[in-house]
Structure 1
Amino acid sequence: MSTAIVTHKDCILHDTGTNHPESKERLIAVNKTLKNFKSNKIKWFESNKVDLKYIYEVHSKDHFSIIKKMSPNENLYNIDGDTILSKYSLEAALKATGSVCMAVDLVLEKKFQNAFCPIRPPGHHAEPERAMGFCFFNNVAIAAYYAKLKYKVKKCAVIDFDVHHGNGTQKIFWNDPNMFYASTHQEGIFPGTGFKDEVGINDNIINVPLPAGTNSLLFKKSYEDIIFPKLKKFAPDVIFISAGFDAHIDDPLADFRLTKSDFYWITKELNKLSIKYCKGKLISCLEGGYNIKALSESCLEHVKGLIL
């Protein structure tokens, strides 16, 4: 089996205005780079919108209604200084979430070994009642509960290597011992969460805050010594990845010193673990990454790491 790439053209319609780091140009560049990579082990899919009942497993109906009500017919609406709604943002967000749920279908129905979803807006900062940090709906958390409800999956793990901590995913998983969340992230930056002592109801949350200047060696050591042993002990039925590429040395929003080869490494290692512990069931979705060249090159390495 091969790798599915699931996205939707409407993800590009989410307008964040001028000089915003989370721009449509990010996804345009990623899609162009991935489509120029010729492999008979990749197949592209266009998603549908997700059924709202799955969003309501993670977010309240009030949260959805407020976003819908705030969506402007013209111009832009600032939820906060970072998170901006345009006319088509809600549609883009629903298609983004739908992409990850469709990836779950393709992988759990054994049509594909694994999947990557190049989507926007991203999701890992979105909390049950709050849109923030460029995020409206928590794509990866919704997909995990989608897998649980539709396919009776018992245990899901999310590995988040975005340079910013996924406060939303952590908050959603906190009280569910069958949901595992592990994150490496830069300490002392947005969103100000992800301390080592934030461990969840059953030690199901693993946070590894790392200093500015973190390089390949420290990044890899954090996974090999801390996260991978905990992941193996948890023994997930499905692994999800919150794939943020803003830990790249060229990214303007943080101060890690990773390169595209590090993203190949972490992807390949997670792929090997998925084969050993959950029959290769691995689903990845795009989070951050704001240097367009670094992002598109890193996404390509990520996909190469998924291909068996």
Structure 2
Amino acid sequence: MTTRLYEHTIFLEHETPPGHPERIDRLRSLNVALEHPFFSTLDRKQAPQANEDAVLLAHPEAHLFSVMRQIPEEGIHQIEADTYASPKSLQAALTGIGGAMAAVDDVFSGAADNVFVACRPPGHHAEKQTAMGFCLFNNVAIAARHAQKVHGAERVAIVDWDVHHGNGTQDIFWDDPNVLFCSTHQMPLYPGSGAKNETGTHNTIVNAPLSTNDGSDHFREAFRSRVLKAVDDFSPDLILVSAGFDAHHRDPLAQINLVGEDFDWATAKLMELADKHAGNRLVSVLEGGYDLEGLAESAGMHISRLMKG
């Protein structure tokens, strides 16, 4: 089992205001976890920077230009209520997209069985025409469109276990019969979407909302009965994971109270389905996770499971 990780120092140059939860230290904490000897065999690569046209796979040109216009020459600019940009934010966002697209290339070419993209800013709240929720562009959505366009993927499944609903990904694929979007998330919580009755034009949207303090048992039951069943029935050529780790019990932004072992378990279950349907092709892209210790533990267990096979 070959696991690749895409990273880049440019992700440390996307700046947010002091006290903002989506901060540079998130990736630093993950890098500390990856210093463990177990990860010595992890195939770590620099993420390539995508060109601006890649954004247009999932967003209209007007959205690309809107974000570009709001990149400041210096300091930090507020794009939206909680979404900010600094001088290197566009470059960081395009490198996150480039890493996600390269990861898709890797699993289709056989260069890797699975790939984790350790990028920021995150992407799953970015709707077709709206930057929001710390997100400028939707990395995982662009990766899915890239798989369809370049590799002829007929069915792509996106699984989002971030504690916040992936409203942006849902918005982009609402009408697409060839992309399955499944999400576990806390409700009520930002951004307010993700009810069970939100199913998309072709019933390819599957939401599994969880309540405050539900914990591991409720999460695993929802994941098993709704997400895994839907992915298995869909029989995808590729599984993409919006891997947010803010459902961890230490996280300050939510209260589902999961533990690292839950992410290890969910990863193993998705790997089984990737093996069954998709030639092991699984790409995971970092989303949320705002407690540094919780993020390091959970992402470390996720990546180690990818490596173990």
Alignment deviations for residues 183-214 of structure 1 (CA, whole Å, 9 cap, x no partner)? 00001110010011100111100001110001
Contact residue 50 and residue 97 of structure 2 kept, 8 A = yes
Residues 25-64 of structure 1: matches in 2 within 5 Å? 25-39=25-39, 41-64=41-64
- 5+ residue gaps, structure 1, are none
Query: 1:242 is paired with a residue of what secondary structure?
Result: strand
Alignment of 1:173-252 (within 5 A): 173-252=173-252
The match for 1:268 is 268
Which residue in the other structure is 2:131 paired with?
Answer: 131
Q: 1:2 to 1:85 in 2, by over 3 A?
A: same
State the match for 2:254 in structure 1.
254
The residue type equivalent to 1:112 in the other structure is A
CA contact (8 A) 1:96 1:139 kept: yes
Deviations 1:138-193 (A, max 9, x none): 00000010111111111100000000000000000110000000000001110010
CA distance in 2, matches of 1:253, 1:105: 34
* Percent sequence identity over aligned pairs: 40
Equivalents in 1 of 2:37, 2:174: separation in Å?
Answer: 39
Match of 1:152 in 2: 152
- Cα distance in 2 for partners of 1:40, 1:99 equals 20
Task: Indicate the larger mover: 1-10 or 27-36.
Answer: 27-36
For normalisation by structure 2, the TM-score amounts to 0.97
What SS does the corresponding residue of 1:53 show, helix, strand or coil?
helix
Cα distance, 1:39 vs. partner? 3.9
Matched letter for residue 191 of structure 2: P
- Do the aligned partners of 2:39 and 2:304 also contact (CA within 8 Å) in 1? no
1:222-273, Cα deviation, whole Å (9 max, x unpaired): 1111211111111000000000000000100011110011110101111111
Amino acid at match of 1:23: R
**RMSD of aligned residue pairs (Cα, Å):** 1.0
Aligned to 1:12: 12
Change over 3 Å in CA distance of 1:283–1:261 after alignment to 2: same
SS of residue paired to 2:69: helix
Aligned to 1:140: 140
Say which SS state the counterpart of residue 147 (structure 1) adopts.
helix
Give the drift of 1:76: 1.1
Distance in 2 separating the partners of 1:295 and 1:37: 19
**Equivalent pair of 2:251/2:289 in contact (CA under 8 Å):** yes
Letter in 2 for 1:165: H
Q: Comparing 238-247 with 58-67, which one deviates more in the overlay?
A: 58-67
Give the drift of 1:40.
5.6
The code of the aligned residue for 1:216 comes to S
Query: Paired residue for 2:96?
Result: 96
CA distance in 1 between counterparts of 2:84 and 2:54 reads 23
The structure-2 alpha-carbon separation of the partners of 1:198 and 1:126, relative to structure 1 and needing over 3 Å to count, comes to: same
Q: Is the 8 A contact 1:31 1:118 kept in 2?
A: no
Segments of 5+ residues of structure 2 without an aligned counterpart are: none
Note the C-alpha offset of 1:102. Answer: 1.0
Structure 2: how far apart are the matches of 1:40 and 1:154?
35
Q: Distance in 1 between matches of 2:99 and 2:12?
A: 13
Q: C-alpha separation between the residues in 1 aligned to 2:161 and 2:131?
A: 20
**Which letter does structure 1 place at the counterpart of 2:181?**
Y
CA deviations 1:268-291 (Å, max 9, x no partner) are: 111111101111000000000000
Give 2:289's aligned residue. 289
Give the deviation of 1:35 after TM superposition: 3.5
Contact (CA 8 Å) 1:15, 1:89: kept in 2 or not?
A: yes
Partners of 1:124 and 1:138 within 8 A in 2: yes
Partner of 1:84: 84
One-letter code of the match for 1:257?
N
The letter of the residue matching 2:202 is N
How many residue pairs are counted as aligned between the two chains? Answer: 308
**What amino acid sits opposite 2:259 in the alignment?**
T
Contact 1:54 1:145 in 2 (8 A): no
Q: TM-score, normalised by structure 1?
A: 0.98
Other-structure match for 2:280: 280
Q: Tell me, in whole angstroms, the C-alpha distance in 2 between the residues paired with 1:36 and 1:138.
A: 31
- Tell me whether 1:73 sits opposite 2:56 in the alignment: no
State whether residues 96 and 119 of structure 1, in contact with CA within 8 Å, keep that contact through their aligned partners in structure 2. Answer: yes
Alignment check: 8 A CA contact 2:6 2:45 kept: yes
Deviation at 1:32, TM superposition (A): 2.4
Secondary structure of the structure 1 residue equivalent to 2:123: coil
Q: Give secondary structure in 2 for the equivalent of 1:148.
A: helix
Between stretches 55-64 and 116-125, larger displacement belongs to: 55-64
